[in-house]
Amino acid sequence: MHILNPNDSERRLNMAKIESTLKNMVLSLTLITIGASAALGFVYEITKKPIEVTSMKNKLEAIKAVVPSFDNTPGSEMFILPTDDGDSLEIYPAKVGDEIVAYAVKAGTQKGFSGFIGIMVGFKPDGTIINTSVLEHKETPGLGSKITDPGFREQFNGKNPENFSLKVKKDGGQVDAITAATISSRAFCDAIERAYNTLKKGGLI
Amino acid sequence: MSKINEFTKGFLKENPVLVLLIGMCPALATTTSALNGIGMGLATTFVLTCSNIVISLLSGVIPDKVRIPAFIVVIASFVTIVDLIMQAFVPTLYNTLGIFIPLIVVNCIVLARAEAFASKNGVFASFLDGAGMGLGFTTSLGVLGIIRELLGNGAIFGHKIIQGDGILVFILAPGAFIVLGYIIAIVNKIKKTQEA
């Protein structure tokens, strides 16, 4: 076992090493950090573009998944609406011709089991939920991560929060929570509710 | 010790997870599914191999008293590089592993190999040691992940093969300890029979 090998320290003594003088220490650490910074800067430059493209692509795909077909570019017609609690949400209108067929709302909540959950929700102009898509989450894999499963998300499709209580059944609502992931289920409902309330407050539905 | 031994020792004889019992945190936290475990293992293997090579090259010019800060700078740089590259080119894997990647910096396997092996051995031997230890780590995480996913979710690599919910405890932390305990017992048994 190398960690515990008593010969290791002897081997180190036999090897030619530069002395631990202040000048040597400062010099070698400086050179190493400069080298490391250069390498990081280089990698950052070459990955910057792909990272932006991926995050843009994910957003567009999420919009496409939650609204019916459209012929405009929701990405460039995005606008921002304030929420009740001082935050603001991005709204992407989907149009056919000049008529608005749906709004895709990028909403999120901090109430997840492990922090932030970001979702995209599509609403018809009358407030009915069309579909949902999870953009980002850090929920427990295998438990809370099931908020991304269609089996859980589809129960919201076609429901109007006007007459559909966005609470899990345990809290007196109408949503079937994921087994052993009530907090994640609650958070998902909370994110949809924030999106709905924001649209409503903005007078769009 | 011959060169080939430097590579193979990581799999069974000095397997970091199952024999040396280091790097427990990622081994237990990321193995909720086979894919997560293997992804984490491969990311660690990359960092371990690169940092071993660079540290063995630099070992002559690093004064002893500042060797740990120097190792950490090298390791942290490679971890950030892995983080950025994963984010750019394998975003799906990054979504599930993202929060664990920065933890590779403090994964004691990487620092332990730098301190105990790479700083005292040649470049090629350090490369073999890093790759072997890393792949040994990956194998253990993969096995842990496969067993936990199968028992906890009834699936292998995301494909459902048993209907129903599975045994929940295996997805949670206690399940990780239980599975790890049994695997270590089996490995010990194999080692004993080999020695006998």
Residue B18: what pLDDT? 85
Average pLDDT of span A153-181: 91
Residue A88: what pLDDT? 87
Query: Does position A11 have pLDDT exceeding 50, yes or no?
Result: no
Query: Does position A8 have pLDDT exceeding 80, yes or no?
Result: no
Shortest distance, CA B122 to any CA of chain A (angstroms): 12
**DSSP states along A154-195:** GGGTT--TTTS--SBGGGTSSB-PPTT-HHHHHHHHHHHHHH
Classify residue A204 by its DSSP letter: -
Report the predicted TM-score, pTM, of the whole model to 2 decimal places. 0.73
Most distant pair of Cα atoms in chain A: their distance: 81
Residues on chain B touching A40 (C-beta within 8 angstroms): 77, 80-81
Instruction: Select the residue from B157, B171, B179 to test the A interface by mutation, using most A Cβ atoms within 10 A.
Output: B171
Calpha distance B1→B14 (Å, rounded): 13
* Mean pLDDT (chain A, rounded): 86
Residue A133: what pLDDT? 92
Instruction: Select the residue from B65, B77, B133, B165 to test the A interface by mutation, using most A Cβ atoms within 10 A.
Output: B77
ipTM: 0.74
Contact B69/A16, CB-based, under 8 Å? no
Residue A205: what pLDDT? 78
* pLDDT band (50, 70, 90) for residue A16: low
Residue A9: what pLDDT? 45
Query: Does position A2 have pLDDT exceeding 60, yes or no?
Result: no
Residues on chain A touching B120 (C-beta within 8 angstroms): 8, 11-12, 15
Shortest distance, CA A48 to any CA of chain B (angstroms): 8
Beta-carbon contacts of residue B46 (< 8 Å; ≥ 6 apart): B78, B82, B134
Calpha distance B121→B119 (Å, rounded): 6
User: Over pLDDT 90: what percentage of chain A?
Assistant: 43
Query: Does position A6 have pLDDT exceeding 50, yes or no?
Result: no
Residues on chain A touching B13 (C-beta within 8 angstroms): none
Average pLDDT of span A92-121: 90
**DSSP states along A71-93:** SS-TTTT-EEEE-TTS-EEEEEE
Contact A47/B84, CB-based, under 8 Å? yes
Q: Judging by beta carbons within 10 Å of its beta carbon (0-12, 13-18, 19+), is residue A186 exposed, middle or buried?
A: buried
Which residue ranges in chain B fall short of pLDDT 70?
1-2
Average pLDDT of span A123-144: 87
Q: Helix axis angle, A22-66 relative to B67-89, nearest 10°?
A: 20
